[in-house]
Amino acid sequence: MADVVEALRRSFGVGSVVTDPDITSRYLTDWTGRFKGEALCVIRPVNSWQVQRAVEIANASHTPLITQGGNTGLVGGGTPVRGGIVLSTQFLKGIDIDVNSRVAKLGAGVTLSELNTKAKEVGLRFAVDITSRESATVGGMVATNAGGIHLIRYGGTRQQLLGIETVLGNGQLIARMEGLHKDNSGYDWSSILCGSEGTLGVITAVAVKLISVPLHRSVALIAVDTLSGAIRIMRAARREFANLDAVEFMSRNGLELVQRLRTEKWPLGELPPYALLIELEGDDIEVEDVAVFLESHEDVLDAALASDARADGLWFWREQHTVAINHFGVPHKLDVSIPIGGIDSFVRYVSELLELEYPNVRAVIFGHLGDGNVHVNLLNVEESNEELDHEIFATVASFGGSISAEHGIGRAKVDDLTLTRSPQDIESMRTLKKALDPALILNPGVLFN
Ligand SMILES: Cc1cc2nc3c(=O)[nH]c(=O)nc-3n(C[C@H](O)[C@H](O)[C@H](O)COP(=O)(O)OP(=O)(O)OC[C@H]3O[C@@H](n4cnc5c(N)ncnc54)[C@H](O)[C@@H]3O)c2cc1C
């Protein structure tokens, strides 16, 4: 194994191959603190040639190569649990924007915030937005097909992709970086790599669509009694407002944690059983129309409305959830998709299951209501209760849902993939994996067991 580090040092230079535990430690644990690993070293290539060289060395020595972007993933996909080399993309930078085509070409290590800061200079932005924007990289967003808060209007990361550059597990560099809006000349590598969680190739650069930054936005934070009520409000809002771009839900448990962590006063009196947040974006938003809509809807218990910069104050309640949950424990994060009509029954089922069989476990449930994405966060899960995750995933399958809405399978859900993907389906995915990464060096243990 010392030979591997030596070979990397010869290719990268001594300073670029990091073995100092003070520096490597932050690459060895995932964001939630649930997954921990060890690595021979961390390498931080600055171009795709270096990535290709690292893949060659990993292949020649049969050493696992774990790609890591901002390390904000929530299913342990970027943690070197089986040892090996961690390849950090953080120095794969560079952003080039074509305003005519509204296309950005950028290094995989550019963070979402960096992309938006640059795009804003020309009145544009990336359509997908996630709370981890300061650290999450565009390469990581592509590898996990990140969803985020605007999916109902613009789609997820896959829908924004116009090109990709990647070093496959077999060492081949594929560059499809023309950034064309239309290109039907064969297999689409962007789609194949998107959501592959670092198991097929190391993404080194991407070309993505950009959209206009709207002049105005209006946000309403709404207290409701039930999730069915929240869904009725969402249905009506979708009919009423063409420029609805976010519909999020929260429950009392989560709001309580945010309140405890941030000592902020909830703006609507008592904490309600559920809260709904809706956002409209456009150049001509009439705030009065939103106020009239909220006043006329019988499921609205109470509501606060804010526009433009002040809207962040209302988003605060939703955006602080992930941080607050992590502050109060090491969560099991079951990010699932449920057909929207079944969300209410699913959430009731989970609450009753915990009450009856796992009284010590605390569930914090929130998510993207508009696309059926329910984040079930379980706190105080002991080792003896690990079967709880599987029980909930089995219920998700019985509702016709998916065990991963946006974070991927990672290491956390490998044992449950068979619940929602057929044997033929999984076998075909394995065939693809073996074709592109024949020595199985890329992210072993992620996605497949
Ligand atoms: C506070 C918070 C809020 C979040 N909100 C959302 C949300 O709303 N929606 C959502 O979808 N996710 C969300 N996430 C999860 C996470 O931010 C996303 O999954 C993000 O896309 C991961 O990007 P990253 O650069 O941090 O990737 P990492 O965590 O470093 O890696 C994630 C996976 O992608 C692989 N990978 C990373 N970069 C590359 C690359 N260049 N080539 C190949 N494989 C690669 C890794 O091997 C790993 O399997 C949130 C996380 C946090 C902490």
Give residue 302's pLDDT: 97
Question: 79 CB less than 6 Å from ligand 1?
Answer: no
Domain residue limits at 105: 95-212
149 and 205 both lie in a single domain: yes
296 and 366 both lie in a single domain: no
Query: Domain holding 157: CATH number?
Result: 3.30.465.10
Residue 418 lies in a domain: no
105: left (phi over 0), alpha (psi -120 to 50) or beta: beta
Alpha helical stretches, state H, 328-438: 343-357, 387-398, 417-420, 423-436
149 and 51 both lie in a single domain: no
Give residue 2's pLDDT: 72
- Residue labelled with tokens 């009423």: 240
Question: 84 CB less than 6 Å from ligand 1?
Answer: no
Domain boundary among 64, 88, 112: 88
Question: 141 CB less than 6 Å from ligand 1?
Answer: yes
Give residue 276's pLDDT: 98
284 and 352 both lie in a single domain: no
- Atom 38 (ligand 1): residue with closest C-alpha? 140
83 and 99 both lie in a single domain: no
Question: 130 CB less than 6 Å from ligand 1?
Answer: yes
Give residue 383's pLDDT: 76
H or E stretch at 262: helix 252-262
347 and 383 both lie in a single domain: yes
User: Minimal CA–CA distance to 355: which of 397, 399, 388?
Assistant: 388
Q: Which atom of ligand 1 approaches the CA of 89 most closely? A: 41
Alpha-carbon distance 148 to 283, whole Å? 22
Q: Return the sign of the alpha-carbon dihedral for residues 370, 374, 375, 379.
A: positive
Question: 195 CB less than 6 Å from ligand 1?
Answer: no
- Atom 37 (ligand 1): residue with closest C-alpha? 140
Q: What is the pLDDT of residues 282-301, one digit of tens each?
A: 988 788 999 999 999 999 99
Alpha-carbon distance 27 to 191, whole Å? 27
Residue 445 lies in a domain: no
Question: 75 CB less than 6 Å from ligand 1?
Answer: no
**From ligand 1's centre to the CA of 193, what distance in Å?**
14
191 and 203 both lie in a single domain: yes
Alpha-carbon distance 291 to 419, whole Å? 44
- Atom 49 (ligand 1): residue with closest C-alpha? 77
Task: Using the CB atoms, write b or e for 374-390: b if 16+ within 10 Å.
Answer: bbbbbbbbeeebeebbe
Give residue 209's pLDDT: 98
14 and 75 both lie in a single domain: yes
Question: 89 CB less than 6 Å from ligand 1?
Answer: yes
Alpha-carbon distance 414 to 439, whole Å? 20
Give residue 286's pLDDT: 82
**From ligand 1's centre to the CA of 143, what distance in Å?**
7
Residues of the chain with pLDDT under 50: none
Pocket test for ligand 1, best of 74, 93, 333, 443 (most atoms within 8 A of CB): 74
Cα–Cα separations (whole angstroms), residue 108 to 95, 115, 144, 203, 205: 10, 11, 13, 6, 5
Q: Domain total for the chain?
A: 4
